[in-house]
Amino acid sequence: MNKKWWKEAVVYQVYPRSFMDSDGNGLGDINGITSKLDYLKELGIDVIWVCPMYKSPNDDNGYDISDYQAILEDFGTMEDFDRLLEEVHTRGMKLIIDLVINHTSDEHPWFVESRSSRHNPKRDWYVWRDEPLNWESIFGGPAWEYDEKTGQYYLHVFSKKQPDLNWENPEVRNELFKMINWWVAKGIDGFRVDAISHIKKEYSNVPDLDGHLFVPSWEKMMNVDGIQPLLQELYDETFSKHDIMTVGEANGVSADEIHDWVSPENGKFNMIFQFEDIGLWNTEVRNGVNVPELKTVLSKWQEKVNGNGWNALFIENHDRPRIVSTWGNDQSYWRESATALGCMYFFMQGTPFIYQGQEIGMTNAPFEELDHFDDVHTHNLYFHKKESGMEHDAIMTVLRATSRDHSRTPMQWNSSNHAGFSDVLPWMGVNPNYEWLNVEAQENDPHSVLSFYKQMIWLRKNMDVFVYGDYQLVDMNHDSVFAYTRENEDDKVLVVTNLAQHAVLCAVDPEDSTLLLANHQSIDPAQLLPYEARVYKIPKDTNLNG
């Protein structure tokens, strides 16, 4: 298999506003990230992905950019960023940044010009129409916003303050390509490319037999036919010129289409984030996942991508609630489910991503009132559901289970005031469980979630089979047990996780095997305890599916 540095890396995602406050204003910042680089190095991280720190009015927490080549003052200066990049490289790590090129802020100078007049040279840099289509925005409500000054509607797939760029205009593309190459020349090591599957649209109404005013319109604005030439030009003019890491956020891309996205022959990215498993969240109750469907979805991606590209492995990010509170059990089996879910995904074929706080098992926050939520998507969802007739209490139940704000509460460093994140009241409330759930409490505990993540990272770095070995799903005859092997010319390993809060009778101990990792101290060869995870090295000739 073709070896690459980005295949062998472990990536850590930083949400700057919530990671570490260095200047006492309640907001995380660039210098705060720099102050914690030794922690990330000790954890075993190779690549740090920093979410948007660009100049922005922060309608969508930085994903609405008003200047691609400037740093938001809340986060520091470009000199601070340059110092961060230098310190990352000094420690032998790499840094990638978010690339948000489907849309800008409505306060970006390009859009200010575009909306100033129908005759402005930049009018066609965005998407304008005399009459709106019946599309629903991903953030709820209409996807077209009326502009009184010029009497037309502009498109916003996300917030109305995030107008979509017109990728059909070569001037737009060339300006974006220049900006991308400017950042690479600065020395960054790659990009996570936001919402890239949305850059091509099909401009027609969505058929709707129920007479809705606005209709979910994914097929008109996501992975639309004709997107590949645009992605090819992006690749040719930017990514192909450098040895960098590129990860596309590719909502709507199926495993059957992977060849055009990540294959060595036709791929435009090193890897993509897929979204098929999002529908497996169980939000009717506070925890649980459909494990058989999870096995089907993740195994399909493992098999389709093997030999045709590379997977990006993740269970948490800034757009999801905390995994231990949704797929696991954040009460009686907090540590066990946090480590079992981590073990389940981390050893698959692909590059694993860890979201800040995931490595200590951070949980959903006890948000009670609407005012406790900050996210524009959450607030939009509330008001659109209210308009549709849904009762307040029912809406709040949904928000408490699904809001992106759960992943954006401040990082829990220690048990001091504000979890050691800041000396003052943070921009968002700290989860009250910080008093016992924090980095400092886990650093010297060999049985902590943090220690388990360090062990997983160590194993992956020291056994080539965990990086390049082939994946095969193993049937353990239990719906809740997710098991698979990884195998290369030299080694074979077995990963077994019970993703349920009940024990299962299961003969797990293969003959002549060596236990490499476990999240329970006592091992019973005849059963798996609730949320138990084990990793074995097994003889090459072991046949587990026979």
Catalytic annotation, residues? 194, 249
Both tokens of 113, joined, read 């010009």
The Cα-based distances of 392 to 39, 282, 397, 403 in angstroms read 42, 21, 9, 15
- All residues at 6 or more sequence positions from 515 whose CB lies less than 8 Å from its CB, including other chains: 523, 534, 535, 536
Both tokens of 235, joined, read 């690749």
Cα 184 from chain centroid (whole Å):
22
- All residues at 6 or more sequence positions from 462 whose CB lies less than 8 Å from its CB, including other chains: none
Does an H or E element contain 135, and which?
A: strand 135-136
Place of tokens 């009132």: 369
Q: Are 273 and 305 in contact (CB under 8 A)?
A: no
Q: If DSSP codes are grouped into helix, strand and coil, which group holds residue 150?
A: coil
Q: Which has the closest alpha carbon to 474: 349, 265, 299?
A: 299
What letter would DSSP give residue 394? H
The Cα-based distances of 539 to 40, 176, 349, 467, 477 in angstroms read 34, 52, 20, 18, 22
Q: Which has the closest alpha carbon to 531: 364, 341, 362?
A: 341
